[in-house]
């Protein structure tokens, strides 16, 4: 979260700025596990599989965000 000294990816910083969604909501909407969402937000070297990207995009759409996560990778 904010100010805890954690290194965040571009996607993690974007997600932090969203007031209406967080990692837990995205986890449920995308039907992915907590470790996957955490890696996507914190690990700059993490390269998700295409199927993971598709699930994230579908989850974001369910949450009302029309954004392609690939622009953050």
Q: What residue segments make up the domains of the chain, in order of their start? A: 10-67
pLDDT of residue 2: 54
pLDDT of residue 54: 95
pLDDT of residue 71: 86
In sign, the C-alpha dihedral spanning 36, 48, 22, 57 is negative
> What is the average pLDDT across 47-66?
95
Task: Concatenate the DSSP letters of all residues of 11-55 into one string.
Answer: HHHHHHH-SS--HHHHHHHHT--HHHHHHHHH-TT----HHHHHH
8 A C-beta contact, residue 48 and residue 59: no
pLDDT of residue 18: 94
Domain at 10-67, CATH class: mainly alpha
> What is the average pLDDT across 12-29?
94
pLDDT of residue 7: 86
In this structure, of 2-11, 14-23, 26-35, 51-60, the range with the lowest mean pLDDT score is 2-11
Q: What is the CA radius of gyration of the chain?
A: 11
């Amino acid at each position: 979260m904010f100010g805890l000294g954690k290194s965040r990816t571009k996607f993690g910083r974007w997600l932090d700025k969203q007031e209406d969604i967080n990692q837990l909501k995205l986890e449920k909407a995308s039907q992915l596990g907590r470790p996957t969402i955490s890696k996507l937000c914190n690990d700059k070297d993490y390269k998700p599989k295409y199927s993971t990207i598709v699930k994230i995009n579908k989850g974001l759409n369910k949450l009302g965000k029309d954004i392609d996560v690939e622009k953050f990778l």
